[in-house]
Amino acid sequence: MNATALTAPVPATAVPAANKADNRSAYISFAAAFILGHGSAALSKGADPVLSLPAWAPLTLLGAGIVTGLVLTMRAGARAKRGADQSELLAEKLVGTSWATGFIALALAITGVSTAFDLPELQDVLWPAGSALVVGLINLAEGAVRRNTLHYGLGTWLALIASASLFLDTPGVYSVLAIAGGAGYVVAAILERRRLAA
C-alpha cells in the first residue's frame, strides 16, 4: 500500500434536496412568534409588569406564529423533497421524528424537576427556554443532515441563547428569547436569499 492509495478523494455527493427549501417565509413567521409572543410575555410578567395582559394573549401570539411557521416549513420541505432519493427521505423522516422525541423528553424533564423540587413556578421559565433549546438542537441536526450551514448556525444561536437566558429572572428569559431569538430568525431570513442563490 502506498500514500496515494490512502489519499484517494472521496466522491462528492449531490446536495440533499431538502437543502434547496426556501425557508424565508417560515423564518419570518418564527421571528414574529418570538418577538410578539415572547415579547408580550416579557412585558406582562414579573413583580412589576409593564403591561397587564391575560395569560392567554402571549401564548396565542406565540402559537399563531409557530403554527404558521410550521405549515410554511412543511410546504417548503415538501416542494424541496421532490426527486429526493430513499436515503434522503429516510434522513428527513428521522430528523422529523426527533421533534416529537425532543418535546416529549422536555415535558418529562420539566414536569420531573418542578415536581421533585416542589417548584411549579419553574415551568414558567423552563418551558420557553427549554422549547427554544430543543428547537435549536433539532435545527442543528437538520442543518447537518441537509448540509445547510445557515440552518445549523441558527440552531447554534437558539440553543446558546435559550440556555443562557436561564441566568435571568422570568421577564429576562422572555426578553432574551424575544430580542435575540427573534433577531436570529430575522437574520436567517435575510441570509436565506443569498444561500439559495449560491
* Residue-wise pLDDT tens digits, 124-163: 999 999 999 999 999 999 999 989 999 999 999 999 999 9
pLDDT reported for residue 80 = 77
Contact 133/158 with Cβ under 8 angstroms?
yes
* Length reported for the chain: 198
Q: What is the pTM of this model?
A: 0.88
How many of the other CB atoms lie within 10 Å of CB of 5? 7
Which sign, positive or negative, has the C-alpha torsion 162, 96, 141, 101? positive
pLDDT range class, residue 83, cuts 50, 70, 90: confident
pLDDT band for position 92 (50/70/90)?
confident
Query: What residue has cell string 422570568?
Result: 170
Per residue in 10-28, pLDDT (tens digit) is 444 566 666 678 999 999 9
